[in-house]
Structure 1
Amino acid sequence: MKNGRVSTHDYTLTVTWTGTRGAGTAGPDAYDRDHVIAAAGKPDLPGSADPSFRGDATRWNPEELLVASLSQCHMLWYLGLAAAAGVVVVDYRDDPTGTMVEHPDGAGEFTEVVLAPVVTVADGSMVARAEQLHTRAHEKCFIARSVNFPVRHRPAVRVA
């Protein structure tokens, strides 16, 4: 919201399947799940399915990208809130995990994502505020607000 008004933001990209082997989808083993995610002015991102679903383990899969999106969103909100609050973050690393359940019919859903950011602040007097900012970052994160499963946090704050 800017100037008291709701703002909309549109995101345009292209996902192109590159996994045809000539016979298209003639059968489940007749094609690769490879694809390319592209957006103007950005490097292409090689994608595939999770290896459990006949995908290429060397390429990004949608499940990893969802977990990464949640982690990125939290981090970016956190850093902005820290800067506004006078908390000097000198290092930030997250090792997020996501849990997806697959049902017998092949459908499934994520049941949770756990973010585990380790934040290093410049001074010990900043630790308490640095810990509190994770709650506000979670409340603000567009991606976390958009999913229908819990996004949990297990943050740690260190002093440089």
Structure 2
Amino acid sequence: MSKEHHYLTQLRWTGNRGEGTTSYRAYDRDHVLTAGGKPEISASSDPSFRGNPQRYNPEELLVASLSSCHLLWYLHLCAVNGVVVVAYEDSAAGVMQEAESGSGRFSEVVLRPVVTVKEAGMREKAMALHHEANQFCFIANSVNFPVRHEPVIAVAG
């Protein structure tokens, strides 16, 4: 039997400069995201769309969500398959294509995890588990663009 999981977030717009949305240039795109009493995330739009470059934007948060989801599944799969990971870093990159109408969509996200395993004999399995992690990642399964992986496996010491 399948289970449903529900996620609740709150958003509060903080960009009213006193004129509201009287014009496209009259307001800031700043807003605050929260979820269940956790620390606030200060967000805005991409600077290309009049956003605050000091705040996260939705596009960055989408790329970060894919990276985080992959990490969590990957570590789980390594743990149950006897691969001891001692360090993991990812430099993820997303490409969004903007249409002439102003709409847009992501065309791909590339995850570039650098994984350090405890022993050289774990490298092959560590590499293979990236594909499996992608198959399990809830976020990757929910997007309509490819999520590619360019992993590097290093050995500790």
Q: TM-score range by the shorter chain?
A: over 0.9
- The answer to whether structure 1 residue 116 and structure 2 residue 112 are counterparts is yes
Q: Which runs of 4+ in 1 moved over 4 A?
A: none
Among 135, 142, 157, the alignment partner of 1:139 is 135
Q: Please state how far the C-alpha of 1:40 moved relative to its aligned partner.
A: 1.7
User: Given the two structures, how large is their TM-score scaled by the length of structure 2?
Assistant: 0.98
CA distance in 2, matches of 1:9, 1:35: 26
**Which runs of 5 or more residues in structure 1 are unaligned?**
none
Match of 2:145 in 1: 149
**Which runs of 5 or more residues in structure 2 are unaligned?**
none
How do residues 1-160 of structure 1 correspond to structure 2 at under 5 angstroms? 5-160=1-156
CA distance in 2, matches of 1:124, 1:41: 43
RMSD: 0.5
**Residue type at the aligned position of 2:121:** S
User: Given the two structures, how large is their TM-score scaled by the length of structure 1?
Assistant: 0.97
CA distance in 2, matches of 1:144, 1:75: 12
Task: Summarize deviations over 1:118-147 as a string: whole Å, max 9, x none.
Answer: 000000010000000000000000000000
SS in 2 for 1:142: coil
The number of equivalent residue pairs is 156
Q: Please state how far the C-alpha of 1:41 moved relative to its aligned partner.
A: 2.5
CA distance in 2, matches of 1:61, 1:30: 19
CA distance in 1, matches of 2:146, 2:38: 31
